[in-house]
Amino acid sequence: MTVSSIEIAKDLVDEIQGNNEQVGSVWEYTNSMDGKKLFAVFTIDQLCDIYESPYVENPKRIWIEGRWTGDYEYVNEID
């Protein structure tokens, strides 16, 4: 699922985990059509097609092994 902010991505991850599902990965990327920063959340059961998506530029994985990484490490501390 693609969302427009890190706050929504965090809420989505929390919701997925609250439903006893696992998050496989979360990505930050730029939409090549309009230049906006977006976030893609994949459950462990979904095929992560981030590199095949035609409008994805500069994808960066920001959720690895249950933790937010890089510029988003602070999200680990938000309840």
| Phi–psi pair at 14, nearest 5 degrees | -60, -40
Closest CA to 13 of 40, 41, 39: 41
Residue with tokens 């496989």: 24
pLDDT digits (tens, 9 = 90+) for 46-77: 999 999 999 999 999 999 999 999 999 999 99
Average pLDDT of the residues of the chain: 96
Question: Structure pTM?
Answer: 0.93
Structural domain spans, the chain: 2-73
